[in-house]
A = this chain, B = another copy of it.
Amino acid sequence: MQLSARNQIRGKIKTITLGSIMAEVQVELPDGQQIVSAITRNSVETLQLHENDPVIVIIKSTEVMLGKQA
């Protein structure tokens, strides 16, 4: 399936922390920078996500802010 989301970035899962409703997944990008995703616990279980799994980080462009050092 092709997605309208403009941001689809390759990474690898470093850690998964499960809560009752939500879960926090830390993903490492090829250049070592980290991206954290907060998704539902149900999604983690449905996708059977595990540490070291290759994943695609997906972000709609309207959700991306920019910062500029003064």
Identify which of residues 29-70 in chain A touch chain B, using a CB-to-CB cut-off of 8 Å.
29-31, 33-40, 42-44, 46-49, 53-70
Contacts of A67 in B (CB 8 A): 1-4, 8, 55-58
Assess A9 versus B35: contact at CB under 8 Å? Given A56-B68, A67-B55.
yes
Whether the Cβ atoms of B36 and A7 lie closer than 8 Å is yes
Whether the Cβ atoms of B59 and A35 lie closer than 8 Å is yes
Whether the Cβ atoms of A43 and B4 lie closer than 8 Å is yes
Assess A69 versus B24: contact at CB under 8 Å? Given A31-B30, A64-B37.
no
Shortest distance between the CB of A22 and any CB in chain B (Å): 4
**12 more A-B residue pairs beyond the given contacts A19-B22, A59-B65, with a C-beta to C-beta distance below 8 A:** A6-B36, A7-B35, A21-B23, A22-B38, A29-B33, A37-B64, A39-B65, A57-B66, A58-B64, A58-B65, A58-B66, A60-B63
